[in-house]
Amino acid sequence: MEDEMMEGGVVKKFMYVNRKAPYGTIYALESLEVVLIAAAFEQDVSLIFMDDGVFQIKKGQKTDGVDMKNFSPTYRALEMYDIEKLYVCKESLEARGMSEDDLIVDVEVLERAALQDLMDEQDVVFSF
Amino acid sequence: MLHIVNKSPFEKNSLEQAISNSKDGSAILLIEDAVYAAKSSSSVAEMVKGALGQKTVHVLGPDFNARGFADEDVLEGVTIVDYSGFVDLVENNGTVQSWV
Amino acid sequence: MKFGILINEGPYQHQSSDSAYQFAKASIEKGHTIFRVFFYHDGVNNATNLTAPPTDDRNVTLRWTELAQEHDVDLVVCIAAALRRGILDESEAKRQNKANFNLADGFRISGLGQLIEAGIQCDRVVVFGD
Sheet holding C107-110, edge to edge: C107-110, C75-78, C33-39, C2-7, C124-128
pLDDT at B62 over 80: yes
Amino acid, res. A81: Y
* pLDDT for B9: 98
Q: Which stretches of B29-95 are DSSP H helices?
A: 45-52, 61-66, 83-92
Are B4 and B32 in contact, with CB atoms under 8 Å apart? no
Whether B87 sits inside 8 A of C26 (CB atoms) is: yes
Task: Say if residue C95 is exposed, middle or buried (CB neighbours under 10 Å; 0-12, 13-18, 19+).
Answer: exposed
Answer with the residue of higher pLDDT: C27 or A10.
Answer: C27
Contacts A30 to C, Cβ<8 Å: 40-41, 80-81
What mean pLDDT is reported for chain A?
94
Q: Does residue B84 sit at the C interface (CB-CB below 8 Å)?
A: yes
> Could you give the percent of chain B with pLDDT greater than 90?
99
Q: What domains lie within chain B, and their CATH numbers?
A: 2-98 (3.40.1260.10)
Q: What domains lie within chain A, and their CATH numbers?
A: 2-59+71-127 (3.40.1260.10)
Are A100 and B72 in contact, with CB atoms under 8 Å apart? no
Q: Which residues contact C103 (CB under 8 A, 6 or more apart)?
A: C47, C48, C49, C77, C87, C88, C89, C90, C109
Whether C125 sits inside 8 A of A126 (CB atoms) is: yes
Whether A30 sits inside 8 A of C81 (CB atoms) is: yes
- N- to C-terminal Cα separation, chain C: 26
What is the rounded distance in angstroms from the CA atom of residue C85 to the CA atom of residue C88?
Answer: 9
Pick the CATH number of C2-128 from 3.40.50.2300, 3.40.1260.10, 3.90.1010.10, 3.30.1330.10: 3.40.1260.10
* pLDDT for A9: 81
Query: Span A78-95, mean pLDDT?
Result: 97
> Could you give the percent of chain C with pLDDT greater than 70?
100
What is the rounded distance in angstroms from the CA atom of residue C70 to the CA atom of residue A120?
Answer: 36
> Could you give the percent of chain A with pLDDT greater than 70?
94
Amino acid, res. A53: G
